[in-house]
């Protein structure tokens, strides 16, 4: 394995073996208002929703996590089987390794074997700057083809870059590169944070580009500072190990980020709420705050590392919990769930 493959493997292993969650999950601070007279029947609720021109059977996305080393293929395959069964969206992790080594393309491309309504390709924003406009377009097309993507995700991960011992915290030029790519690209472009959230200011700047949506990727779930803390510890790098601990809980809470992004964009851009979603109730809370869809990573990583059955069980449970929450607030459709409102105690 080269350095990139090794890193991807370590991220997954550390996420599975250590507690890498933020110390507080902000979904616990959001309360849905119980409706004692919902006047709807639970089995008649419609969870289907449209996003980026595609129809999903539930407003859920399996967030991009992995690919780029051999064991990742099985994880993506198990996730894809669940995405197909429940007709929900799915992303893969950063596809840089697949560009650099064509022998690894199938660790991402395995998702093409499944009938998934929305597939999200993925790369870090700083790569766009390094490549320049022309090479970016060619590489982005290659990544789209690699998984048959309908949406392209540019990931912002500067918390990770600044803590990682081999990180590249070069952020200059990323905004312009995103703006150009959104202009050049035929498929919708989504900008996604990976655990530190998107503020009002960043969302206002992004809303002036042609991007199609924002994944707020807020704090409260997987902490990349925590993951890098453990990675640094593995090689006795005490400086980065310490930095990971200091910044463990850095970031804008996911519920706050949804509200900031919504206000900054006049609620016109679709919002995906990723960060700390553990179950269908958290997903319902995200929608009550105005998100169009909820994204989940860590919750599904353990089951996907096991087998298809465990992954399918987990997604089924999440959808059933979402349905139960919608019933209990009296929302018989996703659009009504988004309108229902919630109390935020942050």
Binding residues vs ligand FMN (CB under 6 A)? 11-12, 15, 63-66, 93-94, 122, 155, 192, 194-195, 217, 221-222, 274-277, 296-299, 301
Length of the chain in residues, anyone?
346
Could you give the CA distance from residue 25 to residue 27 in angstroms, rounded to a whole number?
Answer: 6
Q: How far is the CB of 67 from ligand FMN (least distance, A)?
A: 8
* Closest residue to ligand FMN using C-beta atoms: 221
Residue 111 CB, shortest distance to ligand FMN, in Å, is 14
User: Distance between CA 309 and CA 79 in Å, rounded?
Assistant: 10
Of residues 56 and 277, the one with the C-beta less far from ligand FMN: 277
Angle (CA) 255 259 262, round 5°: 135
Residue 125 is inside which H or E element, if any? helix 125-131
Q: Give me the least distance between CB of 332 and ligand FMN, in Å please.
A: 27
Nearest-CA neighbor of 12 among 56, 89, 72? 72
Smallest gap from Cβ 176 to ligand FMN, in A, equals: 20
Residue 138's nearest CA partner among 94, 184, 174, 90 is: 184
Name the residue nearer to ligand FMN (CB basis): 26 or 327: 26
The distance of closest approach from Cβ of residue 102 to ligand FMN in the complex, given in angstroms and rounded to an integer, is: 19
Shortest Å, Cβ 159 to ligand FMN: 11
For tokens 């989940």, what's the residue?
Answer: 296
- Whole-Å CA distances, 143 to 109, 119, 209, 219, 268: 9, 11, 22, 27, 28
Distance of CA 218 to the CA centre of its chain: 9
In the complex with ligand FMN, the residue whose CB is nearer, 217 or 290, is 217
Min separation Cβ 40 and ligand FMN, Å: 29
Q: Which CB, 106 or 282, lies closer to ligand FMN?
A: 282
3-state secondary structure 64-90: CCCCCCCCHHHHHHHHHHHHHHHCCEE
Beta carbon nearer to ligand FMN, 297 or 326? 297
| Residue closer to ligand FMN (CB basis): 62 or 331 | 62
- Distance between CA 242 and CA 293 in Å, rounded? 35
Q: Nearer Cβ to ligand FMN, position 155 or 159?
A: 155
């Amino acid at each position: 394995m080269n350095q990139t493959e090794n890193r991807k493997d370590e991220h997954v292993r550390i996420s599975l073996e250590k507690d890498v969650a933020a110390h507080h999950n902000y979904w616990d601070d959001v309360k849905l208002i119980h409706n004692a007279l919902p006047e709807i029947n639970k089995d008649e609720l419609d969870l289907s929703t449209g996003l980026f021109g595609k129809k999903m059977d539930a407003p859920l996305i399996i967030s991009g996590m992995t690919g780029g080393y051999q064991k990742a293929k099985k994880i993506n395959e198990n996730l894809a089987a669940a995405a197909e069964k429940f007709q929900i969206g799915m992303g893969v992790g950063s596809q840089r390794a697949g560009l650099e080594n064509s022998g690894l393309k199938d660790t991402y491309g395995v998702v093409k074997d499944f009938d998934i309504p929305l597939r999200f390709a993925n790369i870090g924003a700083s790569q766009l700057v390094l490549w320049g406009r022309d090479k970016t377009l060619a590489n982005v097309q290659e990544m789209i083809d690699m998984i048959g993507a309908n949406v392209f995700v540019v990931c912002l991960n500067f918390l990770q870059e600044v803590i990682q011992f081999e990180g590249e915290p070069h952020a200059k030029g990323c905004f312009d590169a995103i703006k150009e790519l959104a202009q050049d690209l035929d498929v919708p472009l989504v900008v996604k944070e990976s655990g530190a959230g998107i503020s009002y200011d960043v969302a206002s700047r992004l809303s002036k580009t042609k991007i199609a949506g924002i994944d707020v990727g807020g704090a409260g779930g997987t902490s990349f500072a925590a993951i890098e803390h453990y990675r640094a510890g593995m090689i006795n790098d005490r400086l980065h190990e310490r930095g990971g601990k200091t910044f463990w809980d850095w970031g804008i809470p996911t519920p706050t980020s949804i509200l900031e992004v919504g206000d900054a964009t006049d609620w016109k851009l679709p919002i995906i709420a990723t960060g700390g979603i553990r179950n269908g109730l958290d997903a319902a809370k995200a929608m009550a705050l105005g998100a169009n869809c909820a994204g989940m990573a860590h919750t599904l990583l353990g089951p996907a590392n096991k087998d298809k059955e465990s992954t399918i069980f987990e997604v089924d449970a999440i959808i059933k919990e979402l349905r139960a929450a919608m019933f209990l607030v009296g929302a018989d459709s996703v659009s009504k769930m988004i309108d229902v409102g919630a109390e935020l105690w942050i």
